[in-house]
Amino acid sequence: MEGEYNLEPETPDKPKAAVVLVWLRELVQVVAPALLLALTVHLFLAQATVVYGQSMEPNLSQFQRLIIDKLSYRLHSPARNDIVVISLPHMDEMLVKRIVGLPGETVALLNGQVWINGEPVPEPFPHDLAFQDMPPRRLGPLEYFVLGDNRSNSNDSRSFGPIPREYIVGRVWLRYWPLSQFAYF
């Protein structure tokens, strides 16, 4: 009929295989860069993790979700009181602990108090003082002494010793879950 227009483009029917190949190519062009970006972020910049156990209470509680900053320690050394995630070769899960002793320092635990180089260390958070004394121990050039904030319920450097720098995965950067307890560290 005169005056009618065909709004469909005039193209020959493509074989189904060609349509599938075009679709797959476009999918790869979108998904491959996204996966590469996600892998790069996970390996070098940041990683999500979950707190298991009570060793960091009252500051971090079981099942809270955290983002670990992996980049900072490529640029500078870990500092005292940083909350870090460590991966020990003999354990399946990663641990969240606080850095107390730095490389080259002498750490001791006496009467519920942490001592560094013969001086008591003021600690900004309350904790149970009921833990065993530990004689002075000098840390190696790349060793750190870590403790859980909940001293009476923590598997930390008191039991497995100082940790080498390479076991530190990264610094806890933020708590994102539960949302009501969102915080930067």
Of 55, 70, 154, 157, the catalytic one is 55
Q: Would the pLDDT of 182 be above 80?
A: yes
Residue 8 banded pLDDT, cuts 50, 70, 90:
low
Helix (H, G, I), strand (E, B) or coil at 80: coil
pLDDT given at position 157: 93
Residue corresponding to tokens 């001791």: 108
Lowest mean pLDDT across 36-40, 51-55, 174-178: 36-40
pLDDT given at position 6: 55
DSSP summary character for residue 14 = P
Q: Which CATH superfamily is domain 46-184 in?
A: Umud Fragment, subunit A (2.10.109.10)
Q: Active site includes 70?
A: no
Q: Active site includes 97?
A: yes
**Higher per-residue pLDDT: 61 or 127:** 61
Q: What is the pTM of this model?
A: 0.76
Of 14, 72, 97, 152, the catalytic one is 97
How far, in Å, CA of 141 to CA of 6, rounded?
Answer: 78
Q: What residue segments make up the domains of the chain, in order of their start?
A: 46-184
* Helix, strand, coil abundance in the chain, percent, nearest 5: 25, 30, 45
Q: Which of 38-42, 59-63, 71-75, 168-172 has the highest mean pLDDT?
A: 168-172
